[in-house]
């Protein structure tokens, strides 16, 4: 048996001890996976040419409600429907759809592709829309779903291990064990979508499938059949209680909407996710103790039993090195889960020396990192525009495949965050400030010289003179953290494998190409 009040009391105690880590994880998941639509809807609220709600950092061309309207219009004459459902009812339905749905969705991007094939001629435009839908499908399966399992793993561990790192959300990538959990999560999403067509069945199955991400977080090797079976067993006779638990969060969600999603980021998401994790552990404990069918698949006892130092030493002495490489490369981190005892071990080639973000960079490294991050930014924006609009981006100043804004941002982050590199929260806010100032200056300069800004954000609600807006700054602040803590050190290690003379020659060639590209851009702009 479990009670909501006792559940929430335990979570509040846990949050007080590990608040910043929980909030950081939910924030990253909200931005990267759109698992919390309300959190990111308002920072991307578009007000022109009409209210558009989106939960993606780069807002889609049409919100989900408009996509549904277009699809219905392909098969049904909209004139009688508009008379029946027009006005306030239609606006409210659109608002609800956009608030509680995500644009990074196989379902909605399939509808976008369907609309494109019926409304456009079969040419490059339709092919690009289809390609965007395919990329969204892959993103949903191999990134969004996997990160959501990682989020559940973080919350399951931090309850007993207070120093659980935020990077735990990437644990399946570190284990090189992705395809099986991705398949199980895809089946969950697919079946849920089919049941949603029945409405009532969709609500019931939402609760019945709710434990699958937690089960995968505990045992990624579990079969699809066992995962669905155990989730069904854990929620049996508990669905009404789960519904009441969700209903008890209604006031918090209303407060989040009134604060434009800010309260969601700060308090609500960590609190709700923590409650659901505590609930899973409670249901799991009761199920294992009762020796119910297939209970042995819930095989991670260390989620609740924190081993002593003597137990760890004995376990390590008895550990078979052939099962995994962690005994030779890791130590017993205080208040962290003993990873060498986890049921899934990475291949030997996947275990590397830890990344050192505090390392020093020479001049050649700075130049190569500038161009690497610029090219990375160009590729990233091209992919985002393909997914978002089904078109290739033309939002570049130069002719070459690089965006200097990314490179400048990366170098400034490396130079200005040296003293606070061990404090990720401060680094994030510094990155936010650096990007906001940098893009504002870029758009202001472009407006003064060319007569138009490089990027115009005037259609967004939370913008500053149309030259910068909150959603973009948040996205780039997170990207800057990824560059500082992972990309820059890894890329530099690769650069160091090349001889010094070759690195210098490469720097000279890249600088020359960039200078020629900049000169051609200026000539074309003023001709």
Q: Which residues pair with 464 in a beta bridge?
A: 468
Helix axes 269-289, 239-247, angle to 10 degrees: 160
Task: Say which residues have a Cβ less than 8 Å from residue 159's Cβ, sequence separation at least 6.
Answer: 14, 277, 278, 281, 303
| Rounded distance between C-alpha atoms, residue 74 and residue 446, angstroms | 42
* Residue written as token pair 């949050």: 15
Structure confidence at residue 51 (pLDDT): 42
CB 361 within 8 A of CB 480: no
* Residue written as token pair 């889609």: 60
| Rounded distance between C-alpha atoms, residue 143 and residue 17, angstroms | 29
Retrieve residue 290's tokens: 């009762």
| Rounded distance between C-alpha atoms, residue 481 and residue 509, angstroms | 29
* Residue written as token pair 């000279």: 508
Structure confidence at residue 117 (pLDDT): 66
* 46 phi/psi in degrees, rounded to 5: -100, 135
Q: Which residues pair with 505 in a beta bridge?
A: none
Q: Provide the CA 139 distance to its chain's centre, in angstroms.
A: 10
* Residue written as token pair 């339905």: 93
Retrieve residue 477's tokens: 């602040």
Beta strands per DSSP E along 268-416:
none
CA distances from 510 to 40, 53, 286, 408, 522 (A): 38, 41, 62, 15, 18
Retrieve residue 22's tokens: 């929980």
CB 168 within 8 A of CB 150: yes
| Rounded distance between C-alpha atoms, residue 159 and residue 136, angstroms | 33
Q: Provide the CA 396 distance to its chain's centre, in angstroms.
A: 25
| Rounded distance between C-alpha atoms, residue 133 and residue 105, angstroms | 9
Q: What is the pLDDT of residues 241-252, one digit of tens each?
A: 999 999 999 998
* Residue written as token pair 């404990």: 285
CA distances from 396 to 284, 378, 405, 406 (A): 52, 8, 10, 12
Structure confidence at residue 340 (pLDDT): 82
Q: Angle at CA 242, nearest 5°, toward 102 and 262?
A: 45
Global pTM value: 0.85
CB 404 within 8 A of CB 367: no
Residue ranges, the chain, pLDDT below 50: 49-59, 78-85, 329
ω before 218 within 30° of 0 (cis)?
no
| Rounded distance between C-alpha atoms, residue 520 and residue 407, angstroms | 20
Contacts 24+ apart (CB under 8 A), 219-224: 219/297, 219/298, 219/299, 219/300, 219/343, 220/149, 220/172, 220/175, 220/177, 220/180, 220/181, 220/343, 220/344, 221/177, 221/180, 221/343, 221/344, 222/184, 222/297, 224/183, 224/184, 224/187
Q: What is the pLDDT of residues 288-332, one digit of tens each?
A: 999 999 999 999 999 988 988 888 877 777 765 555 666 554 556
Retrieve residue 378's tokens: 């160009």
| Rounded distance between C-alpha atoms, residue 80 and residue 492, angstroms | 62
Task: Say which residues have a Cβ less than 8 Å from residue 303's Cβ, sequence separation at least 6.
Answer: 156, 157, 159, 160, 218, 281
Helix axes 424-450, 470-482, angle to 10 degrees: 120
Count CB neighbours of 500 within 10 A. Answer: 10
Report the sign of the C-alpha dihedral through residues 323, 327, 330, 336, in that order.
positive
CA distances from 41 to 46, 59, 471 (A): 10, 10, 9
| Rounded distance between C-alpha atoms, residue 349 and residue 175, angstroms | 11
| Helix count and strand count (H, E) for the chain | 25, 2
| Rounded distance between C-alpha atoms, residue 94 and residue 368, angstroms | 47
Count CB neighbours of 87 within 10 A. Answer: 9
Structure confidence at residue 429 (pLDDT): 93
């Amino acid at each position: 048996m479990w009670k909501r009040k006792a559940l929430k009391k335990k979570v509040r105690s846990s949050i007080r001890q590990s608040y910043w880590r929980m909030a950081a994880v939910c924030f990253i998941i909200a931005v990267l996976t759109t698992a919390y639509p309300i959190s990111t809807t308002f920072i991307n609220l578009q007000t022109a040419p009409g209210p558009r709600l989106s939960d993606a950092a780069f807002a889609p061309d049409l919100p989900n409600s408009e996509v549904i309207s277009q699809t219905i219009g392909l098969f049904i004459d909209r004139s009688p429907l508009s008379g029946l459902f027009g006005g306030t009812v239609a606006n409210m339905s659109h608002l609800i759809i956009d608030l509680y749905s995500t644009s990074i969705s196989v379902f909605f991007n399939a509808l976008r592709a369907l609309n494109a094939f019926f409304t456009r001629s079969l040419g490059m435009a339709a092919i690009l829309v289809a390609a965007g839908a395919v990329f969204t499908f892959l993103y949903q399966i191999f990134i969004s779903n996997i990160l959501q399992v990682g989020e559940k793993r973080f919350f399951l561990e931090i309850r007993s291990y207070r120093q659980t790192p935020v990077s735990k959300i990437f644990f399946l990538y570190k284990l090189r064990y992705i395809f099986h959990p991705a398949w199980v999560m895809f089946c969950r999403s697919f079946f849920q979508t089919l049941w949603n067509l029945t409405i009532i069945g969709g609500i019931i199955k939402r609760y019945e499938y709710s434990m699958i991400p937690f089960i995968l977080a505990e045992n990624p090797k579990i079969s699809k059949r066992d995962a669905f079976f155990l989730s069904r067993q854990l929620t049996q006779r508990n669905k009404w209680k789960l519904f009441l638990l969700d209903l008890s969060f209604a006031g918090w969600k209303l407060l989040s909407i009134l604060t434009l999603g800010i309260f969601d980021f700060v308090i609500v998401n960590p609190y709700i996710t923590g409650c659901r994790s505590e609930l899973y552990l409670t249901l799991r404990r009761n199920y294992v103790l009762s020796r119910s069918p297939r209970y042995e698949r819930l095989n991670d006892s260390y989620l609740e039993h924190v081993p002593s130092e003597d137990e760890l030493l004995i376990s390590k002495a008895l550990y078979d090195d052939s099962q995994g490489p962690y005994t030779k490369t890791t130590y017993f981190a205080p208040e962290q889960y003993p990873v060498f005892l986890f049921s899934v071990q990475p291949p030997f080639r996947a275990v590397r020396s830890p990344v050192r973000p505090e390392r020093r960079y020479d001049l050649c490294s700075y130049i190569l990192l500038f161009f690497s991050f610029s090219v990375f930014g160009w590729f990233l924006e091209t992919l985002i525009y393909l997914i978002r609009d089904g078109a290739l981006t033309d939002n570049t100043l130069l002719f070459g495949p690089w965006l200097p804004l990314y490179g400048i941002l990366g170098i400034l982050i490396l130079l200005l965050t040296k003293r606070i590199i061990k404090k990720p929260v401060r680094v994030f806010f510094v990155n936010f400030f650096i990007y906001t100032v940098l893009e504002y200056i870029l758009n202001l300069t472009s407006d003064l010289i060319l007569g138009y800004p490089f990027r115009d954000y005037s259609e967004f609600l939370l913008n500053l003179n149309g030259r910068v807006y909150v959603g973009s700054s948040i996205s780039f602040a997170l990207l800057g953290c990824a560059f500082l803590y992972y990309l820059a050190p890894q890329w530099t290690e690769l650069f160091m494998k090349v001889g010094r003379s070759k690195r210098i020659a490469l720097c000279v060639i890249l600088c020359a190409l960039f200078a020629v590209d900049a000169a051609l851009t200026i000539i074309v702009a003023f001709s």
